[in-house]
Structure 1
């Protein structure tokens, strides 16, 4: 059989995969925190018809003669360029201007997932969660493990928190029902209180500046190595680097903008252009197959 048949098939398979990736990109053009993907091709091994010869004093060198045997997918990369910011004016909507990721977990002590989607809300218990109900994790200096963030009431004074806001470093500013304001803090990851040296009475509770909570973030050395797990979340892999949780001001991950969401980084102009290229590439490889079939037909008809 003609090698061009198999080369054409490999090309059609590759461009079909490219169209699948483009289709997913276009479908997520308005998905909060989505990161687009791209397909990179590489050629398969080549058949050597003749090897190269070195030049001598009597004659010049000759280049090798090789026939390529098609193409294959080299990689499907996730592109972590920033998405366009969309202003919502909702205080719990957050966007990171930098390389850091928010960290969420389905349960405290469970697996940690990374996300750029900052559309967070408070549930009925006062916990800060994402749209899937996963806990948004926080970080304190006194607790080595990440903690859930509960914005409901002060465990010391039993005063309910009436409002809250999140600053550019991820600290949570709260106001209680008496009008006292300060930063949300936690002594043991379960009891939350309002920390403000001007308001807190040291005789009532052993307040510690290290108890102040900020949103936990992480920066990985190779974001392209993160694994997509759906719901606009990523999981660290052996090639992404360790996802060490910390405060965004400590890991140089950028800053947090409140009232803003980072949208998808999909560019429709680029995607439609790539779609045309993929379509024409698919058609060209199909034409290679039909032309090879016509040649085989002529060979079969030689006996007639």
Structure 2
């Protein structure tokens, strides 16, 4: 049997895989925060027809004569470049400008089962929850006020505290009927609690203490905003501001090594490296890495980075290569037919 036919078959398979990738890129050209992929090929093994020979006194050397046996897919690479930012005007839509991923986790309805412990010196985390990562910031709220992504996973972040609150304003392992404490973001001692990540929540009200009487009362929240560093602040009825938490972000040494799970979510792999957490607000300067991360933009979403012009070009090239490989097979078939006819 002619080797060219098998080479043609390998070309059909390789270009079919390329068309699969191109089709997925085009289908997701409107998907939030989608990252397009590309295929690279490699030549397969070679059959030695004649070995090389070294030069002698009377005769020069000869090169080896080899015949290739086809092509195979070398790798499918993900383009991690940022897509364009699209304003939406929706306060729960967040986009990451440049480097970083949101941290989302899964837990039961009334309490967070498990925890994410943070080492603020190495910026690593140890999680007993199902923890995933995403750049899709189309978030929403549930009836308890928990901040969720589109698939119902909880958005994780740091609790915050000020001089009046030695404990975090909200403990993610507490029940959701627990009250938030008032935390002044303008306090000189305002900072994030970097000991662990908690489920972020935007409540209806916070507890404030009257400095004159010492009585505690609930103050309704009128609106909220998310700063570039991820700090969620709310405006109360009297115009004062309170901090509710800080959205956590992570990065990876090799973003292309992340495992794509669908639904705009990723998990770390053996080649992506462990997630590196962004330092909390007003962290220890010796361990602060926050400047290496991008800003969080409220009221916007990151669009797909698919280049349709490039995808259509790749589709034409793959289609023509597919046709050419098919022609190799039909030509090989014609040669075999001629060999059979020699017997007549």
Is the TM-score greater than 0.5? yes
- Show the counterpart of 1:222: 254
What is the CA RMSD across the aligned residues, in angstroms? Answer: 1.6
State which of 130, 142, 145 in structure 1 corresponds to 2:193: 142
Partner of 2:66 in structure 1? Answer: 66
Q: How far 1:155 moved relative to its partner?
A: 4.8
How far apart, CA to CA, are the structure 1 residues paired with 2:98 and 2:55? 55
Q: In the aligned structure 2, how far is the partner of 1:283 from the partner of 1:37?
A: 23
Which residue, 170, 182, 194 being the options, matches 2:230?
A: 170
Counterpart for residue 289 of structure 2 = 250
Q: Secondary structure at the match of 2:193?
A: coil
SS at match of 2:219: coil
Q: Find the aligned partners of 2:201 and 2:340 in 1 and give their Cα distance.
A: 77
TM-score calculated relative to the size of structure 2: 0.77
Structure 1 residues 114 and 139: CA distance shift in structure 2, 3 A: same
In the superposition, the TM-score normalised over structure 1's length comes to: 0.87
Measured in 2, the distance between the counterparts of 1:102 and 1:28 equals: 20
Displacement of 1:230 in angstroms is 0.7
Give the whole-Å Cα distance in 2 for the aligned partners of 1:160 and 1:52.
85
Residues 67 and 155 of structure 1: CA distance in aligned 2, closer, same or farther (over 3 Å) = farther
User: Which of 258, 265, 273 is matched with 2:305 structurally?
Assistant: 265
State the partner residue of 2:2. 2
**Greater CA deviation, 67-76 or 240-249?**
240-249
Tell me the equivalent position of 1:154: 206
- Tell me which protein shows more strand as a share of its residues: 2
- Partners in 1 of 2:241 and 2:339 — Cα distance? 87
Q: 1:178 Cα deviation (Å)?
A: 3.6
Is the CA contact 2:252–2:273 (under 8 Å) kept in the aligned structure 1? yes
Q: Is residue 40–residue 75 contact of structure 2 (8 Å, CA) maintained in 1? A: yes
Contact 2:278 2:293 in 1 (8 A): no
- After TM superposition, the structure 1 = structure 2 runs for residues 1-304 of structure 1, keeping only pairs within 5 Å, are 1-107=1-107, 108=112, 109=114, 110-140=129-159, 141-152=192-203, 153-155=205-207, 157-184=217-244, 213-247=245-279, 250-251=289-290, 252-304=292-344
- The 3-state SS of whatever aligns with 1:104 is strand
**Separation (CA, whole Å) in 1 of partners of 2:66 and 2:60:** 19
TM-superposed CA distance for 1:56, in Å, is 2.9
Q: Is the 8 A contact 1:50 1:66 kept in 2?
A: yes
Provide the rounded CA distance (Å) in 1 between the counterparts of 2:29 and 2:73.
Answer: 24
Structure 2: runs of 5 or more not aligned: 115-128, 160-191, 209-216, 281-287
